[in-house]
Amino acid sequence: MSKVSKELLRNYIKEQNFKSSNDVLAAMKEMFAEVLQEALEAEMDTYLGYDKYDVSEKAIDNSRNGYSKKTVKSELGDVELNMPRDRKGEFEPQIVPKHQRNITGLDEKILSLYAKGMTTTDIKEQVKELYDIEISAETVSNITNRIMPLVTEWQTRPLENTYSFVFMDAIHYKVREDKQIVIKAAYVVLGVNMDGEKEVLGIWIGANESSKFWLSVLNDLKNRGVEKVLIFCVDGLKGFNEAISAVYPFAKIQKCIVHQIRASVKYIPYKDKKAFTADLKKIYGAVNEDAATDALIEFKEKWSSKYPNAVSGWEENWDNLITFFAFPDFIRKIMYTTNVIESLNSQFRKITKNKKIFPTDDSLLKILYLATEKVSKKRTRKYPDWDLVINQLKILFSEILEKTA
């Protein structure tokens, strides 16, 4: 099993809060059986030339003819399968051949495929290694495509009416499109509900990051039931504010301080970096907005003539950089940076690091969805002192919260 899949399985096991080895075995066995069953269904689709519920593509006089139960032995114990049959009795499954009742060794392979995102290359290589059998690209495609209904269901699921915080960021990948390799953005939105639980609200694959696409993402959230967002935490993309205000006009917007610092420091040579960053800290580390404004004035007088581009960003984005000063420290710590979503993106990078180019948007979305499912239980942990946080927010946003949708 590859290093990537081992890491994913370790994370999965930790998240399940297993109490015994039997709990681990039961969970692995259930996952293995489900994926193995889907692989058999995909083989039958390929053999007959049409999907189970789409006879419009049917071009032969053969068809499905129910199932026969079969119990096979594996390293995870006995696994019950429903073996698909055809009316002519000619279907010969390759994943679990007829008369074979011992599939010891296949468990790890199938789990590895599942954890990696079941890319076509992974499946072909693993099955070739195990059985010395070449599976057609069509069969592999059918297997991986069976994840897509789950992805679609997740991506269109209803969401809660109100979120206290919504973090938005994008991570970029190379994807094949029209016989070319283009840079695509995976737009990721992470919400914190009114109970303090974190949840990935969705992942959208689109053209390189733009405010226009973010507007479509926000409208999608609205259509899925999100009527109110108290605070948006975003990076410095131009046009972000306008997009948010068009859909959620009453929300507060906090531009990520860390992003702004990075954007400024990149202009500064090493010899001045220490002094420059120390003066920056006086701004974002100020006690209140007035003190921050005074620090900005001093900062501008000292550095604007030498590094005008590094200073101008703070002035241009000032209104959205100082939003967090209106809140107490325990809320400031949540909203002044988008680190929470960058942490999620770092998990995505670990899982996708061996994939230099994705063949389609769907192939990228599938693997990010699987990664999201692996870390979802960790993301539901509440912030510390959430009772203090939500009580303050309910007071500060009382007018918004009392408005009917």
| pLDDT tens digit sequence for 155-203 | 999 999 999 999 998 899 999 988 899 999 999 999 999 999 999 999 9
Per-residue pLDDT band for 255 (boundaries 50, 70, 90) equals very high
The reported pLDDT for the residue numbered 107 is 43
Query: Higher confidence at residue 261 or residue 56?
Result: 261
Query: Higher confidence at residue 223 or residue 377?
Result: 223
Structure tokens at 129: 């290694």
Closest to 50 measured CA to CA, from 59, 39, 38, 40: 59
What mean pLDDT value characterizes the chain? 82
Query: Higher confidence at residue 187 or residue 42?
Result: 187
Q: Report the residue count for the chain.
A: 405
Determine which helix (DSSP H) or strand (DSSP E) holds 60, and give its type and residue range. none
Per-residue pLDDT band for 4 (boundaries 50, 70, 90) equals very low
pLDDT over 70 at 241, yes or no: yes
**Lowest-confidence segment of 1-5, 122-126, 270-274 by average pLDDT:** 1-5
Query: Higher confidence at residue 209 or residue 69?
Result: 69
- Is the distance from CB of 321 to CB of 139 less than 8 angstroms? no
Closest to 314 measured CA to CA, from 233, 231, 257: 257
pLDDT over 50 at 3, yes or no: no
Cα angle for residues 351, 355, 358 (degrees, 5° grid): 115
* Mean pLDDT for the stretch of residues 39-59: 75
The reported pLDDT for the residue numbered 111 is 41
- Is the distance from CB of 276 to CB of 265 less than 8 angstroms? yes
The reported pLDDT for the residue numbered 191 is 95
